Amino acid sequence: MQHSSTDSCWFSPQRPPGTAQLPALLLAVPFAGGNEHVYRPWLPLLPAWLEVQTVQLPGRGRRFHQRNDLSIVQMAAAIVTDLPALIAGRPWVLFGHSMGARIAFEMLHLLPAALQPAAVVLSGAPAPFLPPTTRDVANKDRAAFIQLLRDMNGTPAEILQNDELLDLFLPMLQRDFTHVEQYRSPPDRLLLQHPPCWIFGGDADPDISGADLAAWQQCFARPVPVTLLRGDHFFIFAHGAALLAPLLKTLATTAAVQPWSTADLL
């Protein structure tokens, strides 16, 4: 079995494990409310030599009965603790969207140089030191919060139209939103020297401006390309190839991956 199939509750493999360890790893961190399956539509875009894992956050999926009370910083620390066994000495890349981008950013600050990813893509989040949105989700009543979810266009209609599902889903999601609103990175942190980072956003995202995305440059020592793609906050599902391209191209240059066929690179 693959050495990276750890017993950690924080990781969820997105492909059946093979008989040998694959030479590289993609770790994807979900957005608020997202479970371990949210990035599965991307699997056809990914080469066979890449192991694909998502972060399994508390309060959903197989961790449904665990309250999602951990802050963004606490989640990042817990993930980093279990990460060395998953990486198993291989080159790896990191993706995070929205709340996932914030968790991924905190992971970068916690990881030692030897465990840093080869590349990272962060999307759908303003620079982490900027003031959070003023939605005050923690104090919204049920109707107002459901309307917010409709406006954001990221929650499946079958959930929004089903009171029983909402009863299960809303408390977890409201806590996720509260974690995002309470999170703010200190503005005077040391610049991240590694890894290379790409920032993406939706050109019709009502809460995140181009300036909010460009401000990520103040978190990294090297230039950070910023790209606006067509769409709202959940533009990622229409632009998987563009988001994955920097990660795959970076991995293709590593010695561990070069012996494998890269004909299916984007």
User: Which listed residue (4, 12, 98, 123) is catalytic?
Assistant: 98
**Coil/strand/helix, residue 136:** coil
How many CA atoms lie less than 13 Å away from 260 in the CB half-sphere?
19
Structure tokens at 2: 């693959």
Nearest Cα to Cα of residue 25 among 107, 89, 92: 92
Nearest Cα to Cα of residue 41 among 249, 243, 240: 240
Q: How far apart are CA 180 and CA 126, in angstroms?
A: 11
Q: How far apart are CA 22 and CA 183, in angstroms?
A: 35
Nearest Cα to Cα of residue 179 among 68, 34, 80: 68
Our answer to whether residue 8 is catalytic in this structure is: no
Give the single-character DSSP code of 105.
H
Nearest Cα to Cα of residue 52 among 228, 213, 251: 251
End-to-end CA gap in the chain: 28
Angle between helices 99-110 and 72-87 (to 10 degrees): 60
Beta strands in the chain (DSSP E): 11-13, 24-29, 50-55, 92-97, 119-123, 197-202, 226-229
Question: Which residues belong to the active site?
Answer: 98
